[in-house]
Structure 1
Amino acid sequence: MKRIILTVLFVFVFGWISYSVLYNGFFGVKSMTIQEYDRTFDDAEKVTDHEVISTVTGILNRSNKITNVHYKLAVEPTYKIRLEYKETDEILYLHEGFDTNETLISSNRSEYYYKINQKQTDTIVQLLSK
């Protein structure tokens, strides 16, 4: 009995640690809009398809979170994505070509950065630009 309790406790702690390390907090998104950086969101079409939103938030939640760093970027972002939640919104800025085959994502609400590869960037842009 003691062995079962320890096993369950270990699985729970391991799951909780994995979840907190791998999860970036992109959830509850009602709609998304993508636009080139130098354009306004007024011209863009909102994406409300649940399947597209879950795919994009899945990519964002699996991205590499960069903490304790502040970059001074010399170039402007390529795209910006507005995530609309129930009561608020957030704008993500995609800096393509940040590193070899990598895109840096910054946010107007978070001090963290996120990195995704070029294939994930292309998937996000393709899904939201339809």
Structure 2
Amino acid sequence: MTTATADATDNSPLSVLGEALEAAAETIGEASSDASESAKAAARKVKAGVSAGAYHAAYGVSFGVVFGAVFLKELLPEESAVRRGLEEGAEAAIDAVASRRAAKAPAVGDELDEELEAQAEKAKPASPRARKTVRVTRDSAV
């Protein structure tokens, strides 16, 4: 009789409802973790696709402009003013980029000099008797 009572308890509407709620909660928990992982994977794929698209668009524009200018220059006679303008304009652009890079270099060097001075200050011995010559070079800071 005890087995019949245990079976009756397991089949009661409240225990069936409890089991159904537990199963639903587990399924929802698994689905939310799966959805989160799927969303992260989709975001990575979209980011990679957008990045590749931006790269190819920039590459195409750059190639089209440069190739078009070089092709046009080669079609023009050597003594043409347009050809000379294209050549000199390209050289001026290259020089401008080089001068901008050179102008930025001292600012980086100044920061390195300050950093080297700070390292030399830290390396100074506390007492005059223990003083050693400390030489700090730019290569050692980097």
Higher RCO structure, 1 or 2 (CA under 8 Å, sep 6+)? 1
For the criterion TM > 0.5, the same-fold answer is: no
Task: Provide TM-score, normalisation by structure 2.
Answer: 0.26
More strand by share: 1
Task: Provide TM-score, normalisation by structure 1.
Answer: 0.28
